Amino acid sequence: MLIAEKLEVWLGRHRILSGVDLRARPGELVVVIGPNGSGKTTLMRALSGDLDYAGSAHLHGREIARARPGDLAAMRGVLPQHSTLSFPFTVREIVRLGLREGATDAGSSIVPAALDRVDLSGFEGRMYQELSGGEQQRVQLARVLCQVWSPVVDDMARYLFLDEPVSSLDIRHQIQIMEVARDFAQRGGGVLAILHDLNLTAMYADHVVLLRNGAVHAEGKPEAVLTDGNLRAVYDCPLSVNRPPAPGQVFVLPHGARGDAGADAAR
């Protein structure tokens, strides 16, 4: 179980997060949304052990800021928003980096399986630096999947931390990657994902945390959080939440496009 209480993070002289409470249970896909600068990535970095914080953050009872990198790595994988690579590794070599030290024979089947999950079968021999941005993002996800291949190990749920995992993907792969995340949660793992796409959030989240100015503005089930009032207040953008396609599911349509903002005013 991932539990953060009264989390507060300062970067320089700016308080980025204040009093954030968050719980991510195993088996749940928790999505963090909020406008640019609302503290989503800072929250993810604090929970990944990258930043100092005040308050507390525990993963399976371990204080994250004080845990050793190796112990955290056994409990969770992190997909950062941006990835860099300084030497010409092949796709296979990158994904292999996710395997725990000493994993060899078992690893040979995990690497191709992980690449298959992100729809990159047959890319093993390609040079990472020659891939497109979306392909690189999926290679990195395959590497993270390798690290936490089994969602549950010795009755301990493992976690996937995903910072905008679909930011540079086409619509087909956005769905596919979200399915990977949902599948991981359904098999007993925990998922904490940052998303910008409110419709993907509505479709996949079990629990939504809406951040505003470094604090939690609302949280709960998607239909409870994704409301006209919440979203207009937080994003400062005229929009409305609609309910057609499937019964009970919502979708969000911004009004700016094609002059719909006027329609909003007229209503």
Partner 1 sequence: MTFADVLSTVQAGRRSDGDRSALARTSIAVLAALLVLSFFFSLASGASDASAWQVFLEAAGLHTGTLQLSDRIIVFDIRLPRAVLGVLIGASLAVSGAVMQGLFRNPLADPGIVGVTAGASLGAVSFIVLGATALAPVSALLGLYAIPTGAFLGGLAITLLLYRVATRRGQTSVATMLLAGIALAALAMAVTGVLIFHADDQQLRDLTFWGLGSLAGATWTRNLMAAPLILPALAGTMLIARQLNTLALGEGAARHLGTDPQRIKMISIVCVAAATGASVAVSGGIGFVGIVVPHLLRLVIGPDHRYLLPASALLGAILLLFADAIARQIVAPAELPIGIVTALAGAPFFLWILLRKRGILDL
Residues in touch with partner 1 (CB under 8 A): 48-50, 68-70, 72-74, 77-78, 80, 83-94, 97-98, 100-101, 124-127, 147
Among residues 145, 98, 153, 148, the alpha carbon closest in space to that of 117 is found at: 145
Which of 36/87 has CB closer to partner 1? 87
Which of 74/113 has CB closer to partner 1? 74
Which of 147/201 has CB closer to partner 1? 147
Which of 62/255 has CB closer to partner 1? 62
Crossing angle for the helix pair 133-147 and 171-186, to the nearest 10 degrees = 10
Minimum distance of partner 1 from residue 145's CB (angstroms): 13
Minimum distance of partner 1 from residue 126's CB (angstroms): 7
The pair of structure tokens assigned to 225 is 């959080």
Which of 77/238 has CB closer to partner 1? 77
Minimum distance of partner 1 from residue 231's CB (angstroms): 31
DSSP string, 132-163: -HHHHHHHHHHHHHHHT-SSEETTEE-EEEEE
Minimum distance of partner 1 from residue 205's CB (angstroms): 23
Q: At which residue do the structure tokens 């392909």 appear? A: 135
How far apart are the C-alpha atoms of 252 and 232, rounded to whole Å?
11
What is the enclosing helix (H) or strand (E) of 226? none
Residues with Cβ < 8 Å from 251, sequence gap 6 or more?
199, 202, 241, 242, 243, 244, 245
Minimum distance of partner 1 from residue 215's CB (angstroms): 25
